[in-house]
């Protein structure tokens, strides 16, 4: 049993768990409640909405969600805030996403205190020798949340970009594959396990990367929006070299999403990443989408941001990663 968040919030509020459906994601009633709260928070911080129903379902269907810790805050029966909390022993960290209505910013401090208490419980499960951290994210333009994170002892540790291209206006031409290069369907085993090995190895160079067992890794991709037609493995003379995984998480706004794109170190500099991007843009254009998005570390040690810019993509959102140690 986690600490009671009610004691950390102003009097008169009701804190309740979210209602869970048979499939593990929120009951449709709460799914809409959560989406509405997120969209209101986004309008206040970035001037428009960004999230989709799939984004909310992913939060709660993920293998590391601490379902007992996720709560909705109500004031006189009206939902005014919610906290989603993750427990990830593989990375020795917890995660808090806190959303409040624009005029209820005073609730953020209590929700973050609640997350610290829950993360302390998470750490205690692993033993005193474990180093544990609590992480969160915020749009760089969200001054209210950023200030609350600072007050709660968080420090900004990294900046990420969500990049985008309008494929109805301009997208690079799809060039033919060089001799010896093939792109094959990697959605089914055994090639899906090969895609896992390539993606995991390719991301060793990325900040804060953690290698996960295959089943756990696939659990993060096995979401309601998984696109079986968008799992591509690149081979060079028969040797696995790169992987691209697409998904339908942005379909509500008629956009595609490149969930992961990685090239093994020994095959970089040959244009394989660019070839995959070109085909991703063409794939989504053929499905009537208007844009394509992906996420990237703004300080990418592999130069991924420069690759995406060269393909016509530009930063669309700026998202900061925050962290604080849990003693």
**pLDDT for the residue 1:** 61
What is the tally of structural domains in the chain?
2
3-state secondary structure 272-307: HHHHHHHHHHHHHHHCCCCEEEEEEECCCCCCHHHH
Lowest mean pLDDT among 84-88, 193-197, 273-277, 300-304: 300-304
Q: Is pLDDT at 181 greater than 80 in this prediction?
A: yes
Cα-to-chain-centroid distance, residue 195: 20
pLDDT value of residue 63: 84
- Beta strand extents in 33-128 (DSSP E only): 71-75, 78-88, 93-100
Distance CA 85, CA 66 (A): 6
202-220: average pLDDT: 90
- The CA distance from 174 to 167, in Å, is 13
Whole-angstrom distance, CA of residue 95 vs CA of residue 104: 21
**Rounded mean pLDDT of the chain?**
93
Q: Does one domain contain both 57 and 171? A: no
SS3 label, residue 318: strand
Domain that holds residue 300: 163-319
Instruction: Give the CATH number for residue 232.
Output: 3.40.630.30
**Do residues 113 and 187 share a domain?**
no
**What are residue 54's phi and psi, to 5 degrees?**
-60, -35
Last residue of a domain, one of 106, 123, 153: 153
Domain match, 146 and 274 both: no
pLDDT the model gives residue 39 = 96
At 62-119, the pLDDT tens digits run 888 999 999 999 999 999 999 999 999 989 999 999 999 999 999 999 999 999 999 9
Structure confidence at residue 3 (pLDDT): 85
Residues 6+ apart with CB under 8 A from 289: 167, 254, 255, 256
Question: Does residue 195 sit in the same domain as residue 313?
Answer: yes
Asked whether residue 219 falls in the same domain as residue 124, the answer is no
Euclidean distance between CA atoms 18 and 31, whole angstroms: 9
In-domain check, residue 325: no
Q: What is the predicted pLDDT for the residue at 171?
A: 83
- What is the pTM (predicted TM-score) of this model? 0.90
Indicate if the pLDDT at residue 128 is higher than 70.
no
For residues 11-35, average pLDDT: 88
- Structure confidence at residue 25 (pLDDT): 77
Pairing type for strands 226-236 and 78-88 reads unpaired
Q: What is the pLDDT of residue 129?
A: 62
């Amino acid at each position: 049993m986690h600490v009671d968040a009610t004691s950390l919030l102003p009097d008169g509020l009701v804190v309740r768990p979210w209602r869970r459906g048979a499939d593990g994601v929120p009951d449709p009633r709460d799914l809409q409640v959560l989406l509405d709260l997120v969209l209101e928070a986004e309008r206040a911080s970035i001037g428009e909405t960004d999230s989709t129903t799939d984004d909310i379902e992913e939060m709660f269907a993920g293998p590391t969600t601490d379902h007992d810790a996720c709560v909705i805050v109500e004031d006189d029966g009206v939902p005014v805030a919610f906290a989603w909390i993750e427990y990830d022993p593989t990375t020795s960290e917890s995660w808090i996403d806190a959303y409040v209505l624009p005029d209820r910013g005073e609730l953020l401090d209590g929700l973050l205190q609640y997350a610290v208490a829950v993360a302390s419980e998470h750490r205690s499960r692993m033993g005193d020798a474990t180093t544990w951290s609590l992480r969160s994210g915020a749009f760089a333009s969200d001054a209210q949340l950023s200030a609350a994170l600072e007050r709660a002892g968080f420090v900004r540790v990294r900046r990420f970009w969500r990049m985008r291209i309008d494929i109805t206006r301009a997208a690079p031409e799809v060039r033919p594959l060089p001799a010896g290069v093939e792109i094959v369907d990697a959605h089914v085993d055994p090639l899906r396990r090969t895609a896992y090995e390539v993606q995991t190895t390719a991301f060793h160079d990325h900040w804060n990367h953690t290698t996960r067992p295959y089943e756990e890794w696939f659990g993060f991709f096995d979401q309601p929006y998984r696109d079986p037609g968008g799992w591509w493995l690149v081979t060079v003379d028969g040797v696995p070299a790169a992987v691209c995984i697409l998904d339908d998480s942005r379909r509500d706004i008629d956009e595609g999403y490149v969930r992961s794109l990685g090239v093994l170190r020994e095959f970089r500099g040959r244009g394989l990443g660019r070839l995959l991007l070109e085909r991703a843009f063409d794939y989504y254009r053929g499905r009537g989408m208007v844009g394509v998005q992906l996420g990237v570390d703004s300080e990418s040690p592999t130069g991924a941001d420069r690759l995406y810019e060269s393909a016509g993509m530009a930063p669309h959102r700026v998202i900061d990663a925050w962290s604080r140690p849990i003693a």
